[in-house]
A and B are shown apart, each in its own frame.
Chain A
Amino acid sequence: MNKRISVLDLPNSYVGKSVPRPNAKRLVQGRGTYVDDIELPRMVHLAFHRSPYAHAKILSVDCDDARAIPGVVGVYTMDDLKDTITPWVGTLDHLKGIKSAEQWPLANGKVFWQGEPIVAIAATSRAIAEDAADQILVDYEELEPVTDMMTALDKDTPVIHPELGDNLCFQRGVDSGDVDAAFENAAVVVEDSFRFNRHTGVTMEPRSIICDYKPADGELTLYMSVQCPHMSKNLFAEHLGLDENKVRVICKDVGGSFGIKIHTYSDEMAAGAIALKLGRPVKFIADRLESFTTDIHARDHRVTARAAFDADGNLLAIDMDDVTGVGPYSVYPRTSGIELNQVINLTGGPYKHRNYRVDGKVVFLNKNVMCQYRGVGHPIAIAVGEHLMELGARKLKLDPVALRLQNFIPQDAYPYTSPAGAIYEMQSHHQCLDKLVEMMDYEGLRSEQKSLREQGIYRGIGFASLIEVTNPGPAFYGVGGAKIASQDGCTLRLDPTGGVTATTGVTEQGQGTETIIAQVVATSLGVPIETVRVVTGDTEAVPYGGGTWASRGAGIGGEAAFQAGKALKENILDLAAIILQAKIEDLDIIGGNVVDADGGNERLSLAELGRIAYFRGDTLPVDAQPELVVTRHYTQRDYPFVFTNAAHACLLDVDIHTGMVKLQKYWVVEDCGRVINPKLVAEQTRGGVVQGIGPALFEECLYTDEGQMINGSMADYLVPMAAEMPDIEVGHVETPTETSELGAKGVGEAGTAGAPAAVMNAINDALSPFDVVLSDMPFTPDKILRGLGKI
C-alpha cells in the first residue's frame, strides 16, 4: 500500500508553482493564429445588411444592385437559406415556464433589434461585400419598439412576439423561511433600489468564424473563436442537418471571450448555411459596430431589495424583486434565464439568515440579446447583498467588517444549505476577510480616511464578500436538455521520445488552461513539464468536453488530467516492471525516469521505455502489450456546483467638486481551493476585478427610447484604461474541494463578480459624510454630482 503523501505535495510538484505560460511566446512575437489570420483557397467573405430599426416589419427587400457588383458571389435573404438551416428556440427544460420565439439566422419577415441581420452578402473580399451590403434596399413598416423593462409587461405595451402571448420570458421566485415575520420583528430594516447597467464584453478580437464545407465528403470544418468547440459542433450539425461526426471545430488562439463567444449567433449560423450553399470556405469577422450591436449584452437589471436585522446586528432576512430586460429572444442554447437563477442562488450567499424571498422576472425588449457574460448574475447578487450589509452596518452603527464576520455562516455549519437551496461544501469567509483586513491595514486606512476628510479629501473603503459558482455538474445545463457537456476529458500519450502529448476538452483563451493542464500532468505522471505538450480546441483531436464556462477549466479539466496522469503512470510502471523484471510497487516515475521507489535510483528513462514499447515489441513477453495512451474523464457529481469564496476591498477617492472617482488600491483574498498556479490565479483575479470595475464606473450600452444603441464604438463606449486602474493585491486561502483528488475550484469570474459591489460600497463610504447613497451603475461623475445636489 502506498502510504506516501500525495504527489501534489512533493517538493518536485509543479502544482502550486507560478510556471510561465509556454504558449505566450508566440503571442508576444505576433505569431498567434486567430481566425482572421487564416486564409483558405477560394474563400469568400461575408458582410450583412442589418436592421436600422429596433422593431419593424419588412415589406420588401431589393438585392438587385448588390448582386450586380463585380466580386459578389451570393446574396441571401432568409427565404434563400430556409432549405439549408432550421431555426432554434432558447429554452431549457429545467427553467420552468421559460419561453422564447423561433429564431432564424436572418430576419424572417420582421426585425426585432437594431443590428439584426437581414441580408447576407458573400464576396471575394470583405470590402466588396460591404459595398454590396450598402446597396441593399429594404422597405420597412416601423413597429412600436418595447424598450422599457419596467413597462414591458403592461397591458398597453405591444407584445414583441404575438405567438408568445406576452413579453414575459421567464419568472422564478423563492420564498424560504418566514420573511414577513422576520421583517415585522426586525430591529433594523434597510432597503434600496438598484439599477444595473447593460454592458458587453468588448473582446479585443471580435467574433470570428470560417466555415469550410467540402461537398464531396459532406464535411464541414469550422475555424472559430469560441469557448466551447464541442457545443458549436453539435449546434451547427443539428441546424444544418449534418451528421455530428461530419462537423469539426478548430479553435486556435482566441482574442478574449469572457462569455461572449459561447452563444449561438445569427450571423455565424448564416455563414454555415452559406458555406453549404456555396461549397467553398466562408469567412465572417464581426467589425466593431457589429460587435457592439450583436455580441450578447449583459446585466440589465432593476432591483429593489431590503434586509432585516435584529438589534444585535444579526441578519434575519433578505427580500428582493429583480427585473431583467433581455433582448427579443432568449439566447440559444444557454437561455437568458440562467442569470436570474444565479441571482436567486447567490444573493446574501455568505450569510446565515434563514428567511429569503426573491421575485424575479425576465422580460423581452427590442434591444440586442442578453445572455451569460463573465460572472453571470454574481455582480448583481453580490452588489445587492453587500450594499444591504453596508447599509445595515451604518444603521446599526457597527463596523462593516465586524458585521460581516458576525453574520458569516459559522465554520462548523458546513456543508450548508442556503435558504435558496444552494449547497456549500466548505467556505472560508472568516479566514479570507481576516486576511484581507490584515493585508490592507484596515485600521490604518480608517484613521487615514478620518484625517483626509479633515483636509476635504473624501476617501472611501468598500468591502465585498462573495461566493462564486464553479465546477458545475450536469445540473447547470445538461438536465435542461442542452447538449453542453459538464464532464471533461484528458487523453495522454507517451511518445517514443519519452515526451507526453496531452489533449483536453477544456479550452484556452489566454487564462492559462494549457499551462495548468501541463502542470497537473507533469506532477501526476512524474515528468518534466517541458516534455508535456498540451493540445486544445480541435474537436477531432481532443476528448469530448464542455470547454470554458462557469469557471470549470482547472477544477473539471484539471481533475481529468490528474486522473489521466495517474492512469498512464500505472501503465508505464506495468511495462517498466516487465522490462526491469521488478515489482511494480518498487518502482516510481520521477523527472521523466522510472526509478526505484525507495531511494530514487534511476532505472530506465521514459525515452528508452518508449523505444522498446513502440519499436522493439519483439523483446517483450508475448502477453505484454504496452498501453501508453490513456483517457480519463471527470464529472463533478457531488453538488450542482462547487462554490468558491473571496473577500474584496476597494480604496478610492471621490472628488466632490468634479464627481470623479480615483481608484487608489484594490485587495482580494481568494479561495479557489487548491491553487495550481498562483500567478495565473492572481492574474485571473486582477483581470476579473478590472472587468468588474468597468461597469461600476464606465461601461454602459446606451439606448434611446426607440431602441437605438448610441455608443457603439470604442470611442464612445468607455472601458477601463491603464491610467485609471489601481494596483490590485491578491492573497490566497486554500480550501481544496473534496469533490476531487486535485481539489481545485474555479477562479475565472470571482474578480468580476465582486468588484462592482466593492466599488459601490467604497463610493458610498466616501460620500457618507454627505448622507448620500448611490446604487445606480455606472457611477459617472454626473450621477455623483447629482447625488451631492451639485447639479
Chain B
Amino acid sequence: MALDDRKSDFTFVGTRPNRPDGLDKVTGRAKFGADAYAPGMLHGAILRSPHAHARIVKIDASKAEAHKDVKAVVTRADFADVPFKPGLEGEFYNVLENVMAGEKALYDGHAVAAVAATSALAARDALKLIEVEYEVLPHVTDVDKAMAPDAPVIREGAADYSVPEGMHPNVVRYHESGHGDLEAGFAEADLIIEDSFVTEATHQGYIEPHACLAILGNDGKGELWCTTQGHWIAQKTCAALLGIETSQLRVTASEIGGGFGGKTTVFIEPVALALSRKANRPVKLVMTRSEVFRATGPTSSASMDVKIGMKKDGTISAAQGIFRLQGGAFPGAPGDMTAMCAFAPYNLTNVKQIGYDVMANRPKQAAYRAPGAPMGAFAVESVIDELCNKLGLDPVEVRLKNAAHEGTKASYGPTYERIGLVETLEAAKAHPHYSAPLKPGQGRGISCGFWFNHGGETSVSLALSEDGSAQVMVGTPDIGGSRASMALMAAEVLGIPYENIRVTIADTATLGYNDVSHGSRVTYASGLATIKAARHAVEKLCERAAAKWGIPVDAVKWENGCAVPSGPNAGDFDPMPLADITADMGRTGGPISGHFEATPEGAGVSFGTHIVDAEVDPETGKTSVTRYTVIQDAGKAIHPTYVEGQYQGGAAQGIGWALNEEYIYGEDGRLQNSIFLDYRIPVASDLPMIDTVIVEVPNPGHPFGVRGVGETGIVPPLAAIANAVSNAAGVRMKRLPMSPPRILAALKDNG
C-alpha cells in the first residue's frame, strides 16, 4: 500500500452520519442470534459437568431418548473424529474437546451431552434424565498452583517444542524475546524496582448470550444462523467437527449484541448442528447467562513479575518481565502477547520478556480486546509509576523521555514505522485534565498502552445499481459501527452520498473468505478492501465514459462522483455523473461491480495514553472514578463518533476489570459467581463521562491512513486506574480487581 495514493482531504470521511443499523436496533427490528425460527424447529439444551475435573465413566441417555418430547441426544460420539494434535496446531481438536467433552470433563460447566426436544422446557427437563457417572479427579484453577510440581495434570502431551525441559505438563507454550544486556542495564540504574502482580480472569460481558439456529441434513448440507464475530471461521470449524465439506455449510451472521473477542470461536454451534443432523429437524440453541460465564471464553488470569531500572533523569536503563497466563484447560493463553506488548511503548536498550501459556481447570479462554496486553501493561506501568513517585519525576515526562517512535527497535523485535505514541503523550500533557487540581482523597494515574492490530484475509464486493446507488458486501460482522465506516469510505471513492450506499454483512455462500472481526482489523482491512473495490468499479465507470466520449480511458478521471476529461487535451465534455453511466450500463457492457480480495499486511500498530482520577473512601475501600480521559492514535478517524465509542468502551470495560470484575472459584473448583448480580460489571452510574481525544498520525499501510482502534483502548485502563487508586490510597495495589475488601485490607496493612 503505497503512501503516494493516500488522501488527506476528505468529503465524507470524518463526518458523523447515523449508523445504518441504528433504527433497526432501537426499534427492535434487528434480528439477533436468538431471533431466528424455522418450521418444525426443535430446542436444544446442554448437560454440563458439575465437576472441575472428572473422568466420564459412563453416560446413560436411554431414559432421555425414550421421552416422547425428545428427538435427539448427542454426546462426543456424534462428532467427527478429529485426530489429536498437541498444542495450537490441533486447534480443531481443542475446540471439539471444548464443545463436547471426550474422556474427561475439564472444568465446571464443560458440556458432556445435549438434547433436542419439542420445547425449550422439555429440553431442559430431559437433561435431568441423562445419567452421567463421573470419577472426580484433583483439580487446579490458579495459574501459579497449576505450574507447581504437584499440580494435577490436565492433559499429557499438550506442550509444544517451545517449553523448556523440566516444566510441568500444564505449561504448554513458552515465549522469550528482547535485546540488549540486562545486567549492564540494571547496573546503570539509580533505582531498581521489582514487584509481582496478579490479575483475575474477566469475561467480555457481551449482553447477548450465544444463540444459533442450525439445520443439517443427512446429505451433509447445512445452514447455520448464529451470533458471531466471524462466520467463515464458524463455517470452517463446524464443518471440520461435523465431518462435512466446508462449502456445504452456509453460515449467516446475525446482528451481534457484543463480542469483544469472545465470539471469535464456536461453542454451541457444532452441538446444534449435531442435534439437527440426528433429529433431522432444525435445532435452536440459546445459552443462559450462567452458561455464558461457565462455558464460554473469559480472558486469562495472570501472575507476573516485573523488574525495571531507572536513572535519576527518568531514563529506563533495563526492563524485564515474566508473565504467566492461565487460559483454561486448553492451550492458547496469550502469554506471548502479554510479553510482547508489555514494554512495547518504550524505546529500550536492554529488555527481556518471558511468557508462559498455562492450563488449569477452567473454561477455554477466548480473545478479549487486545488479548493479554492489559495485564502486562498493569504490571509494567505500575512499576514505572512507583519509580516516578520514588524519584520525584512527572509520569508523563518520564514516558515521553522513553517513548518509542519511528525507527525504534520494538521490545518484541521489529522496527517501528510511523507511530503516534509521542503525540498521545504530548496531548496528555497539554490536556486540561492533566493539570486540573485534585481534591483530598483523590489520586491521578497515567498509563500508556500498545496493541499490534491485524490485517487478515478479506474479501469485499461492491455492485452499482441502475439508479446510481451502491451496495457493498463485506464479510466482517459489524461490531462497532463498521457498516457506517464502510459506507463513508465507499462514498469517498465513488463520490455519491453516504445515504445512497447500503452495506450488508454477506453470508458465507455469497462472498469469498473473510477473517473474523477481531484484531481491530475491520475498519482497516475491510475498509481498505472497500476502497479498492470501489476504485475497481470507478475504473469501469471511467471505461464506459471514455467509450461514450470516444476518447482513450486514460484520458478520463473520476472526480466528485463524475467522469471528467483528465485534462484540456482530452476533450471538452461535461462531467458525466455516476447515475448517468449506470442508467444504461446493461447496454454499454453489462453490470458494473468492483471486487477486492487480499490479506493486507500494513495494519499499523497503535498506542494510547489514559489519564484517570480516582477517589477512595478510606473507611470502606470503595473507589469512584471521578474523571477519565482517553487519548489514542486512530491514524485517521473515518467516523469519529464510533472511534470515540471504541475509546469509551475500552475504558468502561477496563474500569470493570480493574475494580470489581473477577471469576471467583470455590475450593471445589466450581465458579461461584455465574450471574450478573455477582459478576460485577460496571453499571452506567458507576462510570464518569469518559472524555476522548483522537490523535491522527496516518498509518502508511492504509489508503486513508486508518489504524484499528478497537483494542488499544483496553490496554492502559488497568494500570492507569491502579496508579490512580494507589496514589489516592497511599498504598500500591498489586492485585486486580481492586475490590473494596482488598483496598480496605491494604489500607489496614499500611496502617
Do they bind each other?
Answer: no
B: which residues have CB within 8 A of A? Answer: none
A: which residues have CB within 8 A of B? Answer: none
